[in-house]
Structure 1
Amino acid sequence: MSHTRLLSAALALLLLAGSGCVSEPPEAEYFAGRLSVSGDTVRLCDCATGRTHPVVDNAMRDEAVTRYEKIVNDPPRTIVMACKGQLTAGRPDAPDSLRIDRLLSLGSDDSDRFLLVGFYECETDSHHKILHLKPDRTFLLTVFDENHENMTSGRWSQTSELELILQSETSPLLRFEILPNHETLTGNNSPNAETVFRKVYL
């Protein structure tokens, strides 16, 4: 067999192997919450925001319901589901729907969680910062120094259970590690300086 045919055969095998890989769209985000099934109604109460989202009907929802029914003998009990997916806007008077792109886990939940939405404060030698994570997954970051007040807004999301990112058109992407036990966000987004945001209750 010629080198050209060997190369073509190798490429074909790689394409076939890749087609079976489980993947999600690049814009997919991490969600974890309490899954409830009642008849044809499937909902996820998002642990990060406290909001309840109807789950869009697709193959991944069918798989989640099948696994739910194997675990739960007496609906409408709830169990915890983690997934990668996307929110799609509903009507103005209706909650956003969640489309599951990939199931990560389904079952009992032994991890420590806390409601991510709320206010966080960070104190440094030269700045006072307030971060507001809002239930609609937008944020407002206010930085105070001696003479100025700078505000940055954008969107927050999770890439995993313990990583939060802040995306804004006016500033670089910011990454934070979530420390549930301490209700704290930590990040190394500045050279030689760790940023620590602690949740505050007003």
Structure 2
Amino acid sequence: MRILFQDSWLIAVEKPPGLLSQPGLGVDQQDSLIGRMQFIDPELRLVHRLDRDTSGLLLLARGAESLRRCSMLFSARRVRKLYLAVVVGRMNRNAGTISFPIARLQKNPPLYGKNPQGKESRSQWRVRSCHANGSTLWLWPLTGRSHQLRAHLASVGHPILGDPIYGKEVFFERMYLHATALSFRHPFTGLRLRLRSRAPFLPAQEN
């Protein structure tokens, strides 16, 4: 895993697709990003998570106090997150917001969707480019629900390319969703941090 930033309190790494952020249930789900990183530094803790099929920026905290401060930033929604995705089909507008209460509808595999008893979820999107069979989007999740971006895009008829749960296009080597940027004030220094990770499924000149 590539390290994109590190200091005495924080470390940002680039998670590859197909790797769990933390261990799951069962012996076949023990390999994880946090397990690998704690082998190097046992004090590291996950601040947030990415789905197994999602790649990109993941923030780790070094020590309990750093984790506490980072968790407060995320809880207060003071961390701006940016994703890139390639979706099936052309969007009928240039930008928009998707919002509805979301809940888990199925346990195995986990499937999330609209449910009046669910939790609020909101995502903003903007078209970055269009191509023959799809669109590349910028995505800003304004809340942090499980599978939020995947469920939101599927709900409007534009599932993420290669999504094994919400999509129908299964003949791809990966899901085309990448956590490409994080922006927040450093919880110890107060300086604005802007972390960036290149989406591996886009040409270098387009990142």
TM-score, normalised to structure 2, is 0.25
Larger Rg: 1
TM-score, normalised to structure 1, is 0.26
Q: Larger strand proportion, structure 1 or 2?
A: 1
Q: Which has the higher contact order (CA 8 A, sep 6+)?
A: 2
